[in-house]
Chains A and B, each alone.
Chain A
Amino acid sequence: ELKVEQNPLFLSMQEGKNYTIYCNYSTTSDRLYWYRQDPGKSLESLFVLLSNGAVKQEGRLMASLDTKARLSTLHITAAVHDLSATYFCAPSFYGGSQGNLIFGKGTKLSVKP
């Protein structure tokens, strides 16, 4: 069975702190996407990770992919309130086409002053 597990599912953190969101998946995948969703809004793409060892950074967010460990991480550095949102990972299985994307359940991040 294909499984994508994100943890934590809920994360409350203070501004200025660092934290990591984990995305584990159950079978081979060599590409993975991260998306952000603000409350009541649509999803926007954050990162596309296309190979083992890929690392992408944008502002205070950095994503990495370890295909051997079946793990991706989203690291938050010095969090600010504007990062409050729900973050989804989505690995692609069975050849990597987007018809085989499976989304995690999301990590709801709340950054407090």
Chain B
Amino acid sequence: DAEITQSPRHKITETGRQVTLACHQTWNHNNMFWYRQDLGHGLRLIHYSYGVHDTNKGEVSDGYSVSRSNTEDLPLTLESAASSQTSVYFCASSRDRYNSPLHFGNGTRLTVT
């Protein structure tokens, strides 16, 4: 069965370190997204990609970057981790950017100390 996998599931890091969260999907979807989920804020879009070599900023992109070198993967990098980036991060993909639902990964809980 096709799936979307995030790793690691849990990560603790120190302020100022660079961190990369992995997202891998086997749906062969062109569209991939990164969200963060915080209490009181719901889900907020960080970055998204509509295809290989395409990346776009979302609502809360400062301090984050992504690159898309193939269809399956969209890694999320925190350039210099800050305590405000402690959150649960979800990756998602979709078949059609207009009409189909998002398929979400299981999330990565990141703690920045």
A residues near B, CB below 8 A?
A: 31, 33, 35, 41-45, 48, 50, 88, 90, 92, 96-99, 101-106
Contacts and interface: CB of A to CB of B under 8 A. Distances in A.
6 contacts: A31-B99, A42-B105, A43-B90, A44-B104, A98-B97, A105-B41
State which size class the interface on B falls in.
Answer: 20 to 34
A31 B41 CA distance: 21
A109 to B, nearest CB: 15
B55 to A, nearest CB: 11
A35 B90 CA distance: 14
Contact of B56 (A31, A42, A99, A104): A99
Interface of B: 31, 33, 35, 40-45, 48, 50, 56, 58-59, 90, 92, 94, 97-107
A99 B99 contact: no
B47 to A, nearest CB: 10
B45 A45 contact: no
Contact of B90 (A42, A99, A106): A42
B42 A104 contact: yes
B72 to A, nearest CB: 18
Which of B90, B92, B102, B107: most chain A Cβ within 10 A?
B102
